Structure formats: structure tokens, C-alpha cells
Amino acid sequence: MQHAEPITVPVDTLLDWYRTLVFCRRFEEQTERSFRRGKIGGYLHVAIGQEAVPLGFLSAIRPDDVFFVSYRDHVHTLVRGTDPGMVMAELYGKLGGTCKGKGGSMHLFDVARGNYGGYGIVGGHIPLAVGAAYALRYQGTDRVCLCFFGDGAMNSGALHEAANLAGLWGREGLCPVVFVVENNQYGMGTSVERASAVVELARRFDAYDIPNERCDGMDVVAVYEVARRVVEEVRRTGRPYAVEALTYRFSGHGAADLFQPYRTKQEVERWRQRDPILVLERRLREAGALDDEAVREVEAWAEKRVQEAVSFAESSPEPPPEELYRDVYGA
């Protein structure tokens, strides 16, 4: 880990982040309930426990920057400012969803906000992000591209081919991409130690001459500090960078991962001590910026906002049959 000058984040921003983290948590919990009630179908991958990573990184980029995400994409989409009702409606398969109900949980898009989507094949979106970064420089801009993926994608050929291209194109200053490895310790049920010959995943980017570091993915301030510095550098140099954020998902891999035989309750409990909401809450309480009443207020606000999203999703119409054949081709 490298240490630069600490960035002082204003308390108001920290409070905003706290509200966002609590809201995202309540939102994800609601999606699990809605899944159990049959309102959400297919696969559902929540990011409970991992929220600080997307929040920290997406707080460090500009509105005109772009990003690509794996299928665990709800939190990224929410913190980027997409209307929660539209996100929930997408999960409900409704016309009012981000993609008119045609993508679902794994394919949230909001291109107007630079969200180039969630992708369902592990590692499959990483080459896209490298090409997108090239395009941004080709077009003569100083925009950057973030590419979020899990530890599981580190073992896919797509990652390695894309990283090699990024290293090559970066030498010419033509690949402003940040690889954000959301290392939640497990690729589905297989731990990093059982899947990767090198467990310090960041180091694997050395092979492509891509500067890299690890950060604490449970502390949004720590994530943000790294993200801001790295994004600034990538924007300036046009060279790729990789950050491995150490994080943990408290929920199962997907909604069907009920028994989790690959890990112990004790392990989950240990990580829960470092729940990103708790970490930030402690920080704010120590600063005297948050008390019990304020916490209750945030909880009530978050719950209300989630219920509004559910109401929107419930009342949104199903996509009409004409949508079946729309969007297959352009022109």
C-alpha cells in the first residue's frame, strides 16, 4: 500500500456518504425480500458489505467519466445517481426500469451517467472497458474509465488479455482505465487462496507493467483517498492503474447461496466488525457529527426511499409485447 498526503473529506460529505451507504444497504435487503416473494426473478447478486468500494471510487470521478461493472451492479448504479425507482423497476422486470425491464439485475445501464453497464459473464466486460478507455483518448478527451470486477475475474483470460492491451496502449498514454478489483474473498464459493496462484491479486498486474496497490475496501474514506489519487494520475498520464480493494460480502454469492458451506459464521462475524457502515458511523460519532437520533433519522429516510422505489416498481407497467423485438438492431 502506498501512502500519500491524507485527503480531508468534509464532514458534510461523510454524512452524505453515510446516508448513501445506509440507503444502499436497505435497498439491497429489500431486493432480497422481493426475490423471496417472487417479485424479482432470475439471478440476484447483492453487494451487502461491499458498498464502500463503488461509493469511494465513483465519488472520485467526474460526471463525464465512464464505468463498467460486473453483474453485482446495483450499488454502483445507485451511488452514481440513477433513480432508485428505476433500478428497482428493472429488477422487477418493468417498463420503467433502467433498461425497460429487458436487462434485469445483472445488466443495469445508465449511459447518460456514464454507466456502461453490468455484465453477466465473469471477466467478460474487462476488454470493453479497455477499449472504451482507448476511445476516450482517441476522441481527445481527458475522461477516464473505471472497470469494476471481482476476485473471480482475476483468473479469466479476458482479464489478462485486456490488461496486456492496457499496458501496451498505456505506454502511448492511450488507456486511462482503472481496474478496480473488488476482492470479496470468494469467487462464488471458492476462496482466493484456492483459485489464484498469487493471493495478492494487485501484484498480478505487475506482469503487464501496470502500477497497482491494495486498499481497505471496508472504509469508504480509505477507498476514496486511493481512488482520488489514482484517478488523478490516470487522467494525467493516460496509463492504466489497478487497485485491489479488500472487502467482504455478508450475503451469499447469489440469492440461491443459502447455506454457504465454504465459510464459517465466525469468519462472517469477524468481517461484520468492519462493516463499512459501522466504520463510517464510528468515524462520524467520534467527530461528534452523528448521534443516535441522527442515525434513526437516516434509517427512516432510507427505509422511506426504498419503499418509494418499491412502489414505483410495483406500479410501473410490464414492458408491452412490442418490446420483445425492439433493440435487437439499430440501423
Q: Which residues bind other proteins (CB under 8 A)?
A: 66, 68, 97-104, 107, 109-111, 116-117, 119-121, 124-136, 138-139, 157-158, 161-162, 164-165, 168, 172, 174, 326-331
* Residue 41 dihedral angles phi and psi, to the nearest 5°: -110, -170
Q: How far is the CB of 54 from other proteins (least distance, A)?
A: 19
Q: How far is the CB of 154 from other proteins (least distance, A)?
A: 15
Nearer to other proteins, 35 or 67 (CB): 67
Among 29, 22, 11, 10, residue whose Cα is nearest residue 298: 22
Give Cα separations from 303 to 20, 75, 249, 306, 315 (angstroms).
12, 16, 21, 5, 18
Q: How far is the CB of 52 from other proteins (least distance, A)?
A: 27
Q: How far is the CB of 304 from other proteins (least distance, A)?
A: 28
CA distance linking residue 117 with residue 144, whole number of Å: 16
Nearer to other proteins, 117 or 252 (CB): 117
* Residue matched to cell numbers 471458492: 190
Chain mean position to CA 191: 20
Nearer to other proteins, 108 or 192 (CB): 108
Nearer to other proteins, 97 or 252 (CB): 97
Q: Beta-strand (E) ranges in 107-176?
A: 115-118, 145-150
Nearer to other proteins, 48 or 313 (CB): 313
Q: How far is the CB of 252 from other proteins (least distance, A)?
A: 24
Q: How far is the CB of 71 from other proteins (least distance, A)?
A: 11
Nearer to other proteins, 127 or 252 (CB): 127
CA distance linking residue 183 with residue 200, whole number of Å: 10
Nearer to other proteins, 98 or 196 (CB): 98
Query: What angle in degrees, to the nearest 10, is found between the helix axes of 11-36 and 220-237?
Result: 100
Query: Which residues make Cβ contacts (< 8 Å) with residue 129, sequence separation at least 6?
Result: 67, 68, 116, 145, 146, 147, 162, 177
CA distance linking residue 76 with residue 20, whole number of Å: 11
Q: How far is the CB of 265 from other proteins (least distance, A)?
A: 36
CA distance linking residue 130 with residue 215, whole number of Å: 22
Chain mean position to CA 301: 23
